[in-house]
């Protein structure tokens, strides 16, 4: 992916660009809001990573200006303290996702990957299929190898989110935010237990496991290679 990083802190910028280029992305950097806005509107990008606090023009204004000009490039917003206000205003301004500093590489890479996939998938899908797992999004039913699997509503949402991001890493925080609308770290193994329950319903007795735990990063739904 071609990513523009608008961040004034050199250390953080270096850290982010190292992490992303190591994952095969092409990173360009802008050190202030004005330059960032210019480059973001003149060139073509797959993703913009915008810091909240920027010299000359703050991140919020950059995102607002871009959205008003009709730019649909996905934006990942970086904020310092996980202030609820920052997150809400960022998302209202037109950002697609946010990350609170300090964050881990795993979290950053997972978010970037998720946003990169967002654009081409505008067509409405009614079924998601991975190997012999079929998810009917309208009837909200699941079949594994042709046999119906009974899921609780929340388990269905969990599986749906994983399936929509199949082959990608999905972090604990992403699941908490998107499945439960929980925006804090519960510090416990709540997500793990939900995943293991879902896994027991989807994968138990199957020769090919689909739900995988990526140590230190998160989870993924994919056909093992």
Q: Please pick, from the candidates 181, 205, 224, 225, the single residue that binds another protein as defined by CB under 8 A.
A: 181
36 φ, ψ to 5°? Answer: -60, -45
Q: How far is the CB of 210 from another protein (least distance, A)?
A: 19
Nearest one of 29, 28, 30 to 1, comparing CA atoms = 28
- Give the β-pairing of 218-221 and 211-214: antiparallel
Q: Figure out which of the listed residues 118, 157, 183, 222 binds another protein, where binding follows CB under 8 A.
A: 183
Among 67-75, 109-117, 119-127, 193-201, which window interacts with another protein (CB under 8 A)? 193-201
Q: Which of 118, 157, 197, 199 binds another protein (CB under 8 A)?
A: 197
Residue with tokens 């007795």: 205
Q: In angstroms, what is the minimal distance from the CB of 83 to another protein? A: 7
Q: Contacting another protein (CB under 8 A), which of 72, 184, 214, 223?
A: 184
Please name the helix (run of DSSP H) or strand (run of DSSP E) that holds residue 133, with its range, or none: strand 133-136
Task: Count the residues of the shown chain that bind another protein, applying the rule CB under 8 A.
Answer: 24
Asked if 143 contacts 54 with a C-beta cutoff of 8 angstroms, the reply is no
Residue 135 dihedral angles phi and psi, to the nearest 5°: -115, 120
Out of 21, 154, 204, 223, point to the residue binding another protein (CB under 8 A).
Answer: 154
The pattern of x and - marking residues 88 through 107 that bind another protein according to CB under 8 A reads: --------------x-x---
> Binding residue for another protein (CB under 8 A) from 38, 119, 189, 213?
189
Report the alpha-carbon distance of residue 88 to residue 222 in Å, rounded. 32
User: Cα–Cα–Cα angle for 123, 177, 119, nearest 5°?
Assistant: 25
Interface contacts to another protein, rule CB under 8 A: 81-85, 102, 104, 154, 180-190, 193-194, 196-197, 216
């Amino acid at each position: 992916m071609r990513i523009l990083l608008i961040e004034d802190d050199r250390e953080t910028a270096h850290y982010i660009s190292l992490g992303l280029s190591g994952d095969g992305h092409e990173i360009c950097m802008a050190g202030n809001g004005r330059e960032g806005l210019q480059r973001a509107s003149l060139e073509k990008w797959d993703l913009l990573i915008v810091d909240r606090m920027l010299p000359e023009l703050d991140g919020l204004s950059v995102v607002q200006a871009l959205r008003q000009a009709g730019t649909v490039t996905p934006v990942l917003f970086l904020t310092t303290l996980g202030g609820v206000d920052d997150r809400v205003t960022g998302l209202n301004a037109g950002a697609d996702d946010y990350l609170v500093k300090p964050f881990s590489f795993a979290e950053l890479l997972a978010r970037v990957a998720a946003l990169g996939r967002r654009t081409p998938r505008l067509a409405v899908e009614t079924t998601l299929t991975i190997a012999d797992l079929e998810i009917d999004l309208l009837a909200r039913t699941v079949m594994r190898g042709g046999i119906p699997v009974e899921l609780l509503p929340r388990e269905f949402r969990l599986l749906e989110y994983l399936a929509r991001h199949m082959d990608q890493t999905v972090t604990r925080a992403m699941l908490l935010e998107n499945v439960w609308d929980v925006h804090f770290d519960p510090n416990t193994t709540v997500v793990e237990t939900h995943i293991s329950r879902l896994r027991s319903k989807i994968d138990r007795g199957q020769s090919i496991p689909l739900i995988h735990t990526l140590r230190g990063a998160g989870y993924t739904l994919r056909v093992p290679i």
